[in-house]
Amino acid sequence: MRIFISTGEVSGDLQGSLLVAALRKQAIAAGLELEIVALGGDKMAAAGAILLGNTSEIGSFGLLESLPFVLPTLQVQRRAIAYLKQNPPDLVVLIDYMGPNLGIGNYLRRQMPQVPIVYYIAPQVWVSSITLGNTERIIHVSDKLLAIFPEEARYFQDKGAKVTWVGHPLVDRIEQFPSREAARRQLGIADDATAVALLPASRHQELKYLLPVMFQAAQIMQAKLPQVHFWIPLSLEIYRKRIEKEIQRYGLQATVVSGQQQQVLAAADLAITKCGTVNLELALLKVPQVVVYRLSPFTYWVARNILKITFPFASPVNLMVMNGIVPEFIQEQASPENIIQAAMEFLLNQERKQQIQADYQQMQRSVGELGVCDRAAREILQMLYH
């Protein structure tokens, strides 16, 4: 049996790799022959998928931001479709990555209508206001949706989709993280040192829009707390030179690490982070965080004024419970002053720190029980063999 999985960006590669591992484990246990071909990244390949194209670096958010990626995306898609024509899959899994995945989904619907399509981690159309067209397109290409947020499951169910809520895959991943003590030992962080994680980028554009404001805030923090040390785990090795150059420019006491993101997150007293999956990891580790996001001013203006997009929250932590648990600063709100004020509160005010940890505890009820990836894999394999 052949499963084709399609995803993009760094987070899609991570989620895809967890799913590939669970699918293969269950197939082996059941004595099934399973081949998994994919559009994804190195993590999926390491988990045992055969990559038809690497999409982990093809990622952007916004109008102008996505232009450089249009051609590479189309080329990768063409290659995948040519392969699928020659080697038709028995089932297809789409993970997030809306534009490209809807393109592939529509093609398969037309050309191979008998092949079941599962959408796992649907794009977050349930969050913003302009999405009915996209919602219908997602439902049209999917035989089944596997939802990771309770609110997402309700939204798609109300629209008539076949949905199963499986929980959030990070619940499984957090189990593999080291304890705070072990992580600090592995990184050589003293007990009394203040470790702050900076997570500026998993996409190219974020280096441009987020890194300067984050490093300005870090510079101010360092002046106020000389014992602070910053830790920056790279999401992609290609960002190293740029980030190291900026560290020198801002005079930060900072260490850049590769392949040790779990240790950095687990060891941190605080994180200043971009908006994304990593917010949930930090919440599950009970690490206080300040979330920031910026797009190009043009994209943001168009989204607000022409497309009239509104959204209640940006960070998945807040979306999980539809409540502002973590401070998030978007666009012009993402100023060094705002970031510093929120960050220093977490570091200096014990009550504020306890409050967010209690909120995290409450959020944990919405992420589901352990075994998320196994549940998702079981749903997928059931469709394959029934």
Domains of the chain: 2-167+369-383 (3.40.50.2000), 175-367 (3.40.50.2000)
User: Looking at the predicted structure, is the pLDDT value of residue 257 above 90?
Assistant: yes
User: Looking at the predicted structure, is the pLDDT value of residue 249 above 80?
Assistant: yes
User: Looking at the predicted structure, is the pLDDT value of residue 307 above 80?
Assistant: no
pLDDT score at 7:
94
pLDDT score at 310:
74
User: Looking at the predicted structure, is the pLDDT value of residue 379 above 60?
Assistant: yes
pTM to 2 decimal places: 0.85
User: Looking at the predicted structure, is the pLDDT value of residue 89 above 90?
Assistant: yes
Residue with tokens 């439902």: 139
Least confident of 1-10, 262-271, 310-319, 335-344: 310-319
pLDDT score at 67:
62
